[in-house]
Structure 1
Amino acid sequence: MVLDLILIGVAITLGPLHNTAFILLLSSPKGVRKGLAFILAWLACLVVLIAAVVLLTGGRPPIHQSAPSTAALAVKLALGLGMVLYGERKRRRGSSPRQSPKWMARLDHLSLWTAAGLGVLLQPWGAVAAGAATVVQAHVSSLASYLALMGYCLLATSSLLVMEIYATFRPAAAQTSLAKLRAWIDGHQDQTIVSLSLALGLWLVGKSIYQLVG
């Protein structure tokens, strides 16, 4: 479980879309406050989802090859296949000139509540759902298991936390550095999406098939 959650957490935190939006939030008026609202909503969403899964399963994984166990693995397999197909389709289409979504131009005027809403909407829900399906198979009964789940949530939020802390304590330097980071993300967004989709998708597919037939 831990390795799966680490890989999923890394894929989530490296997602280019929410990182670009977050950089724009930080550069807007009251950007640090908006960034904090974004992060709190993002974290709350992850924590609530994980907590719901643990409550549903009672912290105990379903019996191997039972209907709930097979269903959880089938969900992970379907999500993995979806990521692979999406990544491969995007790879074949290649990079193309594109403009930022129009809503990004309005980030300067967002309220704190709207910034928090973006923290929920911009999560890569395919990877988040894969994380939830992984937790279904977790045996949550010790401090170490709870720490692993907390670590997953923090890992999935780590890029946002680093930028938020940087912008809070080094605002002038952060403005320049984050502008360069945004330019890099814009220039490599398609490649990043393809790499993350294929890598995580293939892992989920392989692991799910192995567990289904094992």
Structure 2
Amino acid sequence: MVLDLLLIGLAITLEPIPVTAFILLLSADRGLRKGLAFVLAWLACLVLVLALTVTATGGNPPKAQSTPSTAVLAVKIALGVGLIAYGEHRRRRLGRRPPREPAWAARLDHVSVWTAAGIAVLVQPWGLVAAGCATVVNADMSHVTSYLVLMGFCLLASASLLAMQLYATFRPRTAQQSLARLRTWMNSHQDQAIVVICLLVGLWLVGKSISQLV
């Protein structure tokens, strides 16, 4: 479970669409406040969905080879296939059009703090978050280490946002230039990053789940 959550957490924190949206919010008027609202809403959403998952399982992982365990593996296979299909769809579009900033990006300069928080929920990579929840089903919450693993997953999935927020807070001038360069790079490589993330996580989920079924 730990290795799965490590891979999924890295994929979430490196997902380019949330990162791009966050950079745009930091660059806007009252950017630090909007960025903080984004980070808090992002973390709250992650914690909430994980808490609901643990509550649904009662903190007890399903027994191996049981019907619930097989159902969880089937869900993970379905999520993996969905990620592979989406990654392949984006791969086929590579090179067909020049990279450009999405239309919604221009509107982020004028959003309110509350809207920034709502955007954090909308741009979360829900396919990856669902994969994380399907993995958390196997967490045994009778051990303290399980709580630490889940906390680590939330922090890892938010690491890029937390790093940029702290950088912009304590080094505002330097951060403005660095984040602008990162934004430019993201605009040029967004599709490639999505393809790699989706295919990597999707193949991992499908391969490991099938091996556990067999």
Under a length normalisation based on structure 2, what TM-score does the superposition of the two structures give? 0.96
Structure 1 residue 59, shift from structure 2 partner: 0.9
Tell me, yes or no, if structure 1 residue 148 matches structure 2 residue 125. Answer: no
2:87–2:199: 8 Å Cα contact kept in structure 1? yes
CA distance in 1, matches of 2:62, 2:180: 47
CA distance in 2, matches of 1:182, 1:93: 21
The aligned runs of 1:189-208 (5 Å cut-off) are: 189-208=190-209
Structure 1 residue 29, shift from structure 2 partner: 0.5
Tell me, yes or no, if structure 1 residue 133 matches structure 2 residue 173. Answer: no
The residue number in structure 1 matching 2:54 is 54
CA shift digits 1:30-54 (9 cap, x unpaired): 1010000001110001001111111
CA distance in 2, matches of 1:187, 1:168: 26
CA distance in 2, matches of 1:128, 1:191: 20
SS of equivalent to 1:123? coil
2:81–2:206: 8 Å Cα contact kept in structure 1? yes
Structure 2 unaligned residues grouped into runs of 5+: none
CA distance in 1, matches of 2:104, 2:188: 19
CA shift digits 1:65-108 (9 cap, x unpaired): 22221111111101101111111222233232243332211111
The residue number in structure 1 matching 2:183 is 182
SS of equivalent to 1:137? coil
| Paired residue type of 2:129 | V
Under a length normalisation based on structure 1, what TM-score does the superposition of the two structures give? 0.96
Distance 1:102 1:92, change over 3 A: closer
The residue number in structure 1 matching 2:110 is 109
The residue number in structure 2 matching 1:118 is 119
CA distance in 2, matches of 1:121, 1:86: 18
| Paired residue type of 2:147 | Y
Structure 1 unaligned residues grouped into runs of 5+: none
| Paired residue type of 2:101 | S
CA shift digits 1:125-176 (9 cap, x unpaired): 0000000000011112222110100000000000000000000000000000
CA distance in 1, matches of 2:188, 2:92: 18
CA distance in 2, matches of 1:212, 1:118: 38
| Paired residue type of 1:33 | R
| Paired residue type of 1:141 | S
The residue number in structure 1 matching 2:167 is 166
| Paired residue type of 2:70 | T
2:99–2:188: 8 Å Cα contact kept in structure 1? no
CA distance in 1, matches of 2:107, 2:117: 15
CA distance in 2, matches of 1:65, 1:176: 53
The residue number in structure 2 matching 1:31 is 31
